[in-house]
């Protein structure tokens, strides 16, 4: 996955982001922050990492997501003292032998470190899809899309949302899903004795109840309707079990 890094500078940078994103910008005082920007209807636009860099903030975001995200953020700026500029920093990540200055991935300790610099320190031997499936980590373009709600995609467990910070775009819908409803669908891990195909229907009692996304052999991530599970489930006639 290709990444871009943007720099947010100016006296209003923190306040500006705090009013928009799902997480609490104050967490930057102790390290990197994983967060997202939502539509007013609470649906997913993009996820990203924020990293403190002196008085500035770096944003590590998927390259494809940056194209619509940065213009939208600039639209929200109005008269705020915020400058958003693209950098030439390279995003590296790995599990062992972290370079000096690397930071821990804030989503899950099992995801290792991330590094931002002029040189590439990526560890090519890591199968990140296997890690994502094992720890139920969604990825934009695979599990996350414009119809996603972040609570269904496990953002609370990934330290990607704060319910005490106050208002942000999409906060009302997200808070209502948290406090007033029980989730009936969401991201799950499927396990089987055979390889599970990607982008295939998940079926229970003859009815489609979900669809697979990233596969890691006999394990896969799927978006599933919990309330429609009726007995055994399968993918292309392959028996599977599911785990929240």
Quick check: 22 and 160 in contact, CB under 8 A?
Answer: yes
The pair of structure tokens assigned to 186 is 């969401």
Strand order, beta sheet including 113-117: 90-94, 113-117, 103-104
For residue 1, give both structure tokens: 């996955």
Cα 198 to chain centroid, rounded = 19
- List per-residue pLDDT tens for the chain, 244 residues long: 699 999 999 999 999 999 999 999 999 999 999 999 999 999 999 999 999 999 999 999 999 999 999 999 999 998 899 999 999 999 999 999 999 999 999 999 999 999 999 999 987 789 999 999 999 999 999 999 999 999 999 999 999 999 999 899 999 999 999 987 789 999 999 999 999 999 999 999 999 999 999 999 999 999 999 999 999 999 999 999 999 8
Where exactly does CATH 3.30.1360.120 map onto the chain?
3-179
Interstrand relation of 201-204 and 233-235 (parallel, antiparallel or unpaired): antiparallel
CATH code of 3-179, in short, is 3.30.1360.120
Dump pLDDT digits (tens) for 39-76.
999 999 999 999 999 999 999 999 999 999 999 999 99
Residue ranges, comma separated, of all CATH 2.40.30 domains in the chain are 185-243
* β partners of residue 9: 83
Q: What percent of the chain has pLDDT over 70?
A: 100
**Partners of 224 in the beta sheet?**
186, 210
pTM above 0.85, yes or no: yes
pLDDT of residue 180: 79
Cα–Cα distance measured from residue 202 to residue 127, given in angstroms and rounded to the nearest whole number: 25
Q: Which of 154, 108, 106, 111 is nearest to 129 (CA)?
A: 111
pLDDT value of residue 39: 97
Neighbours of 194 (CB within 10 A): 13
Chain mean position to CA 182: 21
For residue 94, what are its two tokens?
Answer: 């790995």
The neighbouring-strand residues paired with 235 are: 202, 238
The DSSP symbol for 196 reads: P
Q: What angle do CA 163, 164, 167 make, to 5 degrees?
A: 80
Show the tokens assigned to 13.
């940078």
* H-run or E-run covering 36: strand 33-38
Q: What does CATH list as the number for 185-243?
A: 2.40.30
Torsion (CA) 168, 171, 175, 178 in degrees, nearest 10 = -100
């Amino acid at each position: 996955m290709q990444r871009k890094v943007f720099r947010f500078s100016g006296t209003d940078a923190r306040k500006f982001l705090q009013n928009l994103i799902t997480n609490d910008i104050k967490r930057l005082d102790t390290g990197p922050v994983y967060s997202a920007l939502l539509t007013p209807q609470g649906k997913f636009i993009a996820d990203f990492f924020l990293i403190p860099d002196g008085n500035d903030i770096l944003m590590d975001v998927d390259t494809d997501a940056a194209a619509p995200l940065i213009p939208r953020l600039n639209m929200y700026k109005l008269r705020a003292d915020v400058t958003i500029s693209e950098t030439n920093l390279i995003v590296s990540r790995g599990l062992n032998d972290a370079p000096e200055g690397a930071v821990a991935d804030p989503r899950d300790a099992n995801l290792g470190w991330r590094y931002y610099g002029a040189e590439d320190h990526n560890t090519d031997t890591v199968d990140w899809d296997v890690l994502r499936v094992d720890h139920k980590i969604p990825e934009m373009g695979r599990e996350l899309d414009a119809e996603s709600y972040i609570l269904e995609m496990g953002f609370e467990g990934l330290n990607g949302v704060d319910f005490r910070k106050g208002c942000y775009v999409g906060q009302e819908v997200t808070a209502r899903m948290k406090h007033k409803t029980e989730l009936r669908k969401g991201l799950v891990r499927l396990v089987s004795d055979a390889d599970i195909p990607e982008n295939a229907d998940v079926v229970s009692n003859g009815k489609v109840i979900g669809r697979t996304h990233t596969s890691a052999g006999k394990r896969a991530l799927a978006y599933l309707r919990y309330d429609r599970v009726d007995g055994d489930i399968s993918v292309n006639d392959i028996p599977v079990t599911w785990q929240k």
